[in-house]
């Protein structure tokens, strides 16, 4: 039975099409103090899926929104829920393709049926009016049926710039935020910081090597910057 359960979890993970498998164990909460850690841990227990609450992660680029969304998705797979992870731009592209191939309804039904839909990166690319309407329909069809996790680099007041119409943005936000947990990730980009740290450590090592040249080479401890 354990083996069967493990295979089911693996199948759900494959079906979710995560671009990478990430979990909360590798997330450094200290790096992003604006993020409510207790709320994230609670969400990872997946109660929100049964309580039908959406999750919106907002914050600038590189602050860990996708990482958190992936970790919540993984937790949901492990707890037995079906998950689909997709970037906003490719979701809209899939819709447009499906519409041209006259299988829009099928795709809409598939997306409405999944327990947890993760829509990543809303905000990087402005959508065409049709794209925005199709996205709106996804949220609308899932409303109070399945859960949606959305990540965005834009605060709500700027969503109109992506969705085009103020009316549509209002209606979409209305549905999305009726039952919602909002995660705010505001801070320095973790990507930038870690590459800066790597560079810093490399420089430090070079200095240390110079300093210890001719002395005991065994004490070249590297102090993190």
Residues that bind ligand ADP (CB under 6 A): 22, 26-28, 31-32, 59, 61-67, 190-191
Contact 51, 4 (CB under 8 A): no
Q: Say which entry of Mg ion, ligand ADP, none residue 181 contacts (CB below 5 to 8 A, set by partner kind).
A: none
- Closest contact distance (angstroms) between CB of 135 and Mg ion is 17
**Quick one: 65 or 175, whose CB is closer to ligand ADP?**
65
CA angle 114, 29, 24 (to 5 degrees): 35
- Closest contact distance (angstroms) between CB of 125 and Mg ion is 13
- Closest contact distance (angstroms) between CB of 120 and ligand ADP is 7
Instruction: Work out whether 88 is an interface residue with Mg ion (CB under 5 A).
Output: no
Taking CB atoms, the residue at the shortest distance from ligand ADP is 64
- Closest contact distance (angstroms) between CB of 70 and Mg ion is 9
- Tokens representing 128 are 């065409």
Q: Are strands 147-152 and 116-122 parallel, antiparallel or unpaired?
A: parallel
Q: From the list 63, 66, 148, 152, which residue makes contact with Mg ion (rule: CB under 5 A)? A: 66
Q: Give dist(CA 181, CA 77) in Å, integer.
A: 20
**Quick one: 90 or 209, whose CB is closer to Mg ion?**
90
Task: Pick the piece of the chain touching Mg ion (CB under 5 A) from 65-73, 94-102, 125-133, 177-185.
Answer: 65-73
Instruction: State the burial class of residue 213 (Cβ atoms within 10 Å of its Cβ: 0-12, 13-18, 19+).
Output: exposed
Across the beta sheet with 147-152, the strand order is 83-87, 116-122, 147-152, 54-59, 180-185
**Quick one: 63 or 88, whose CB is closer to ligand ADP?**
63
Q: Give dist(CA 20, CA 223) in Å, integer.
A: 30
**Quick one: 59 or 146, whose CB is closer to ligand ADP?**
59
- Closest contact distance (angstroms) between CB of 212 and Mg ion is 41
Q: Give dist(CA 138, CA 143) in Å, integer.
A: 8
**Quick one: 120 or 133, whose CB is closer to Mg ion?**
120
Q: Give dist(CA 120, CA 118) in Å, integer.
A: 6
């Amino acid at each position: 039975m354990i083996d069967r359960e493990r295979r089911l979890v693996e199948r759900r993970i494959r079906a979710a099409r995560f671009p990478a498998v990430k979990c909360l164990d590798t997330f450094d909460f200290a790096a992003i103090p604006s993020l409510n850690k207790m709320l994230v841990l609670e969400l990872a227990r997946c109660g929100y899926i049964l309580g039908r609450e959406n999750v919106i992660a907002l914050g600038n680029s590189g602050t860990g929104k996708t990482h958190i969304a992936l970790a919540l998705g993984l937790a949901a797979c492990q707890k037995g829920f079906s998950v689909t992870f997709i970037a906003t731009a490719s979701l809209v592209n899939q819709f447009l393709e499906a519409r041209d191939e006259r299988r829009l309804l099928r795709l809409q039904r598939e997306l409405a049926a999944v327990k947890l839909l993760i829509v990543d990166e809303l905000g990087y690319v402005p959508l065409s009016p049709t794209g925005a309407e199709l996205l709106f329909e996804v949220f609308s069809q899932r409303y109070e049926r399945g859960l949606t996790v959305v990540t965005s680099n834009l605060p709500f007041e700027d969503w109109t710039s992506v969705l085009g119409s103020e009316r549509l943005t209002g209606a979409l936000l209305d549905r999305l935020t009726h039952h919602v947990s909002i995660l705010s990730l505001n801070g320095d980009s973790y990507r930038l910081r870690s590459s800066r740290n790597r560079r810093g450590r490399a420089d430090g090592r070079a200095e240390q090597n110079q300093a210890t040249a001719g002395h005991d080479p065994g004490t070249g401890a590297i102090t993190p910057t």
